Structure 1
Amino acid sequence: MKKLIPILALASVCAAWGSTFFMIKDHVLDDIPASDFLTVRFILAAMIACALWFRELRTAGWKTLALGFGAGILYGLGQLAQTWGLNLTSPATSGFITAMSIVFVPFVALILFRERFKPITWLWMLLATLGLAALSLQGWSFGLGELTTLLGALFFAIQVASLGVISPGRPAGALAAMQMVGTAAVNAVPALSDGELILPSNGAVWASLIYMVLVCAVGALFIQTWAQARMSSTEAALIMACEPLFATLFSVLFSGEALTWRLLVGGTLIMVAIVAAQLVGVHPEDNKPDRVESREAAPLTENRTRKTADFRHQKKVGVTL
């Protein structure tokens, strides 16, 4: 049950993210440039997150703040590349290429963080990739939009792999808030390059914006950070493969996309990969602790233990003398 709750929580994040593709493609990008939209979105998200987790931010160490900001930079670069690419490609293709980050994550985790996993994990990755292809692709061409989206997928993969390392033992609220600050900072550079920040001009775009701020940014990044403290980055990547499944479902329900056998086959392959990975496991041995302790609290505990030992030693010497 302890493992099931983080899995379901991360799946709910994927559902929230998957719901944004058709909104951005059909409504947002016709009204406001990508970088301006992302800047407004994440400035609002950062303000709300900093207010919600002000106490955690105040007590968190500088290392936690810096690591969260760095993860936000990666996430912001991924968001910017994905949204720019969505201007030049279809939501389905964008969803597929973005979800290719699940294949990048094990490589990043292995190269940068020496994360070990079972060889059979590559089979689950292959099944998930085939499911993504069946779900999303209808012919294939590779142009600037696809290349930009692929670059965004690489940034997302590095962010996911990094969260698997930095989130255990650190306050999820502080990390999530700093990620939103970092994301807003990245997107503000191109948005403000002309000296003007463009705001949405109609109620539908504002409604989409508020939904993406509250649910897909503040809520989703907090839940992702919390969940990844309780699983490896490779496990998280496999669960995130269901994001394009949700993207397709929302496109069918709200954007008029046809429901075909591709959805059934692709969705089935993705779910088989996710369930099989959880049943068989992806790591030779589970090194995750059952209880996550605060890393900022560890030095304090060590100091108190040392002071207690010194006091007892002094007291013992005093009695002897």
Structure 2
Amino acid sequence: MTSSPGSLRLNPWLARFMLLAAAAAWGAGYTFEKISLRQIEVQWIMGVRLVIAVAVMTPLMWSKLKRAHLLDMLVPGLALGVTYWAAFILQMEGLRTIGPGRNSFLTATYCVLVPFLVWIVTRKRPAWRNFAAALLCVVGVGLISLSPDDSARLVLSAGDLLTLAGAVFYGANIVLAGALAKKFDATILTYYELLVAGVLFVGGAFLTEPAPPLSALHPQTFGAMAYLVLVSTLIAQNLQNAAFSQVPAAQGSLILCTESLFGMAVSVLALGEELTGAHLAGFAIIFVAIVVSEARISGHRKSKTTRDR
């Protein structure tokens, strides 16, 4: 028996706002990740934050977890957890050899991939506006992320290819979340996604990375990890999975791309990074992309449905 997505019926516009809030949480999280990375390796950061998040969710959701059949949730949980883990690992491996701006830009190509992945999975071609909006979004992210040196290099390196592979898995994770959130309870999905990914990250950390030193207990690192657990993981991931019960994946992926906008804004405010004309143009183009994705061309579809969705 599947867990229903919805004792909770979300207004579609509230769901869009939830995705925007998730993107803001993840964008701000870049600053806290930088602080944590001074003391702790990547997989340890991810493993610790996901395992703590699962530990917090378990008592709060115990009655729900008992009602949900483990075998029903096993495949959805594995699919979401493995794609989440693979996307992050590939992106981080790519980051070892390319700059953060180029890495961020190439990761954002999942905006373009999602409409195609939706088409493959559902056999329904998304509207042309979704493809146009996705391309606009990638241009906007490029203006925000890329330095002149990054954009001048056109030949793809091994780091670029790893990052692009990560983008494919991010896209797959979004499409899966969009499909599964319509069939299963979003909080249960999030629980198993974090559990599976957390186990993979902790296993990878033990096998490939040194254990965090005692100096990692520094108050600044502790505060950064607290943000990553509570806001970037517990709140943002639940917001995303719940929102996808109402927002099509192709549109939702564009809203999530505003993560780069929020990341830049927090960097400007907290770290004093310079805001340029290219950044402002990128913000404007991302906004236009979201408006385009939400536009409805009236005419054809009148006869067709009041209840197409």
TM-score computed with the length of structure 2 as normaliser: 0.85
Counterpart contact for 1:42–1:181, Cα < 8 Å: yes
Quote the Cα distance in structure 1 between the aligned partners of 2:308 and 2:83: 26
Equivalent position amino acid for 2:163 in 1: T
Secondary structure (helix, strand or coil) at the match of 2:128 reads coil
Q: Within 5 Å, which residues of 2 pair with 1:1-12?
A: 2-12=11-21
Quote the Cα distance in structure 2 between the aligned partners of 1:254 and 1:79: 25
Instruction: Identify which of 62, 74, 95 aligns with 2:83.
Output: 74
Partner of 1:46: 54
Shift of residue 34 of structure 1?
0.9
Partner of 2:28: 19
Shift of residue 65 of structure 1?
4.1
Partner of 2:295: 279
Secondary structure (helix, strand or coil) at the match of 1:152 reads helix
- CA offsets per residue over residues 126-174 of structure 1, 9 Å max, x none? 2111111111111324544433332222111100001111111321111
Partner of 1:256: 272
Partner of 2:140: 131
Counterpart contact for 1:77–1:186, Cα < 8 Å: no
Give the 3 Å change call, closer, same or farther, for CA 88–228 of structure 1 in structure 2. same
Identity of aligned residues (%): 26
Equivalent position amino acid for 1:16 in 2: A
Compare CA radii of gyration and give the structure with the larger one.
1
Instruction: Identify which of 148, 163, 167 aligns with 2:177.
Output: 163
Counterpart contact for 2:41–2:209, Cα < 8 Å: no
Give the 3 Å change call, closer, same or farther, for CA 44–287 of structure 1 in structure 2. farther
Instruction: Identify which of 31, 46, 52 aligns with 2:39.
Output: 31
Partner of 1:224: 240
Q: Within 5 Å, which residues of 2 pair with 1:133-148?
A: 133-138=142-147, 139-140=149-150, 141=153, 142-148=156-162
Shift of residue 88 of structure 1?
4.0
Partner of 1:183: 197
Quote the Cα distance in structure 1 between the aligned partners of 2:263 and 2:100: 8
Counterpart contact for 2:33–2:228, Cα < 8 Å: no
Secondary structure (helix, strand or coil) at the match of 1:19 reads helix
Give the 3 Å change call, closer, same or farther, for CA 198–287 of structure 1 in structure 2. farther
Quote the Cα distance in structure 1 between the aligned partners of 2:287 and 2:122: 27
Quote the Cα distance in structure 2 between the aligned partners of 1:118 and 1:266: 24
Equivalent position amino acid for 2:275 in 1: L
Equivalent position amino acid for 1:257 in 2: E
Shift of residue 206 of structure 1?
1.7
Counterpart contact for 2:106–2:164, Cα < 8 Å: yes
Q: Which runs of 5+ in 2 are unaligned?
A: 1-9
Partner of 1:204: 220
Equivalent position amino acid for 1:81 in 2: L
- CA offsets per residue over residues 4-23 of structure 1, 9 Å max, x none? 10111100000111112233
Shift of residue 193 of structure 1?
1.1
Shift of residue 287 of structure 1?
4.2
Larger RCO (CA under 8 A, 6+ residues apart): 2
Once the two structures are overlaid, the 10-residue window that deviates more, 147-156 or 252-261, is 147-156
Once the two structures are overlaid, the 10-residue window that deviates more, 107-116 or 226-235, is 107-116
Secondary structure (helix, strand or coil) at the match of 1:107 reads helix
Counterpart contact for 2:32–2:225, Cα < 8 Å: no
Quote the Cα distance in structure 1 between the aligned partners of 2:104 and 2:125: 28
Partner of 1:239: 255
Equivalent position amino acid for 2:61 in 1: W
Equivalent position amino acid for 2:166 in 1: G
